[in-house]
Amino acid sequence: MNRRQLLRRTGALAAATGLAGCIGSSGTGSGPGTTGDGTTERTTTEARERFSGVRSDDDEPFETVAVGDRESVPFPDNNRAYGVRVWNAADEARRIDLQVSTGADILVDRTAEFAADAYLELALNEPADYSVSVGLADADDETTFEIERSRFDCNQSGTDVGVTADGRVETMSMSTAMGCPGPRVADSDLSVGEGECGKTHSASVAFEAEEAAVEGAVRTPTPRSDLELAAASYDRETGTLTVRVVEKEPDESGVGTQCIGEVPYEATVTFDNALPETVVVVHESMDETVEVTEKTR
């Protein structure tokens, strides 16, 4: 058989050809001939060849199974699909069990008919923590391995699974080593509601797709006070977005209600590349600066 590169572009699945300078390469094996401590027993005096990825003579998978979709993925360039190729590394047709789950949800549960030397591809389209199980349909057990959420980034990554002639299941994972761009503020906006009497600062933060959204109220000299978004600044070193909402200079000609006010607002900060890890909300009003809330994803 001709040796093939670990990952390639097939259908909608983004994968890399010729992964020069790869990182995260690893190989594992299990199944018949595996001891309780995870080491492989030698059945001959010759050491078995280390699994080095799919080496099928077929240029394309006989089937690509899409898990999830790409439409709802935020920052798609920084959250690429992850490919898993399952190879029948035997000279005979076999039935192989496949299962993919995330948490308690089983997303794929099927038995596929593999021709000799054929392989199937799973396209994990949505970033998440996945468990993948593979094994011969007529075997008593199967091998399960994990794919962490952290593997979904700007790099082209994947795992090859080989079901060997004697039933062992071997895996190998690889990734390109490109540095991924971090969060960058693309836009910000503030809308101010109608104030009422009150004396409390408040704020809550929500992470929504490609936005950080803040809903709060600023303690002001009067309910008629106005607000402005003084800053929406991102600190790369700490991964923190600081949203600073301040009381505007009062209109001297205006007549204010004679009570301390709470003026509500909604602020949104849109990002490129990724969301910040932490959002800090600061209010400036009535000659004081108050850190109202901090939220970490």
Write out pLDDT tens, residues 156-208. 999 999 999 999 999 999 999 999 999 999 999 999 999 999 999 999 999 99
User: Is the pTM value of this prediction over 0.85?
Assistant: no
Whether residue 268 is found in the same domain as residue 158 = no
pLDDT of residue 141: 86
* Residue at which a domain ends, from 175, 193, 221: 175
* Torsion-angle region of 122 (φ positive above 0: left; ψ -120 to 50: alpha; else: beta): beta
Write out pLDDT tens, residues 231-261.
Answer: 999 999 999 999 999 999 776 555 556 899 9
Check whether 50 has a pLDDT greater than 90. no
Which residue in 171, 177, 186 sits closest to 153, CA to CA?
177
Whether residue 164 is found in the same domain as residue 272 = no
Whether residue 51 is found in the same domain as residue 158 = yes
Average of per-residue pLDDT values in the chain? 86
Is there a contact between 34 and 43 (Cβ–Cβ < 8 Å)?
Answer: no
Write out pLDDT tens, residues 133-162.
Answer: 999 998 888 999 999 999 999 999 999 999
Give the domain range for residue 237. Answer: 184-296
| Residue 210, helix vs strand vs coil | coil
pLDDT of residue 162: 97
Whether residue 155 is found in the same domain as residue 216 = no
Structure token digits, residue 294: 């901090």
- CA 175, 176, 178, 181 torsion-angle sign: negative
Share of the chain above pLDDT 70, in %: 81
